[in-house]
Structure 1
Amino acid sequence: MLVDIPYDPAHTCCFSGSRPEKLGFDWQREPYFLDVLRTDLRAAIRHAVDLEYRRFITGMSRGFDLWAAEEVINLQREFPHLELICALPFHGMSSHWEPYWREMFTRAHEGADYEVYLSDRFLPGCYHARDNYMVQQSSRVICWNNGTSGGTAYTCQYAERRGVTLDNIHRPYYSLSSMP
């Protein structure tokens, strides 16, 4: 399944972040916080571009991954040399999602320069295989890690063990109930 893409880890960055239900705020009811998240995400990608990163890998999950893919696609207008790589754990991963997320998935998939499928179908461990693949191909991870257990925490811990730079854009006040 792995496509032979000539990676240059020194110039490749991947994304890892929460799905919408684990963000710590209701992105539909508190759109201000989603705007802040996306502004911070865009700034982190621009910073990576300033550091000469040109390839960005998204895991294509709902939430942070798809928002990151959309930001890269938008920035390609300004920086046409940027490449988006979709690392998918298995074929059909979006088939049971809500229409909003399926449409976002399709736009990201169509806007990508490369795609990599880690499996033909869902298998136990396929998400970890995807996360490992992304980290192994990168020297930087732009993440939204709010400390909850799950795939993002796993990916960030794996990246730290490998010496990959983490750029965590999570802020502790991303919720109306927790603002100072």
Structure 2
Amino acid sequence: MVKSVVVTGYKAHELGVFNEKHPGIPYIKKAIEQPLRTLIEEGLEWVIISGQLGVELWAADVVFSLQEEYPHLQLAVLTPFLDQEKNWQEEKQERYQSILAQADYVNAISKRPYEGPWQFRAKNTFLLDHSDALILVYDDENEGTPKYLYEAACQRVESEDYTLIRVTSFDLQMIVDEETYEM
């Protein structure tokens, strides 16, 4: 049974999204919501993100809206290091702080500020070690930062009971088509 799931994927800029009014965001949120609903019905308790701009913060929005229907659902934000938002634009820092304020649990995996790429590798290992599943918005044909967690998750799936749910560009296009057709 999946009690905890990590939700991650592309950073906003990797998708060409530079503000929260981008028309693609509601489709990405819907693509995250669908597998989350299924997992919740099967006993999901925790959604875990690392607080990256993009898919992860949109996933937090989805969790907050699902909490109205499923009050037992909880959000954990486990950042790779302290002050990850330090160099972000003020507007993005405010949005991030708002997510942290609403989360049920917040902590940093490395209790130090950014020192090197090893902290991202450590984050990936920690997230996989402390979850039962991964929902990943990622497409092999459009590599980006999720590639490393995807590769580690694939190894995990082969060696133990771990669930990997991928949301690809094909899945997103199907949601767009369904929404457009319904209108």
TM-score, length-normalised on structure 1? 0.82
Q: How many pairs are equivalent? A: 167
Instruction: Report the CA distance shift for 1:46/1:174 in structure 2 as closer, same or farther (over 3 A).
Output: closer
1:158 corresponding residue in structure 2:
152
Q: Residues of 2 paired with 1:174 and 1:76: CA distance?
A: 23
More helix by share: 2
TM-score, length-normalised on structure 2? 0.81
Contact 1:128 1:151 survives alignment (8 Å): no
Q: Give 1:67 shift.
A: 0.8
Counterpart residue identity of residue 12, structure 1: S
Which one of the candidate residues 12, 26, 30 is aligned to 1:20? 12
The answer to whether 1:141 aligns with 2:139 is no
Identity %: 20
Q: Secondary structure at the match of 2:169?
A: coil
Q: Give 1:64 shift.
A: 0.6
* Structure 2 counterparts to residues 1-180 of structure 1, below 5 A: 10-23=2-15, 25-26=16-17, 28=19, 31-119=22-110, 120-124=112-116, 125-147=118-140, 148-163=142-157, 164-172=162-170
Q: Secondary structure at the match of 2:168?
A: coil
> Please, which runs of 5 or more residues in structure 1 have no aligned partner?
1-8
Instruction: Report the CA distance shift for 1:100/1:29 in structure 2 as closer, same or farther (over 3 A).
Output: closer
Runs of 4+ in 1 over 6 A off after TM superposition: none
RMSD: 2.3
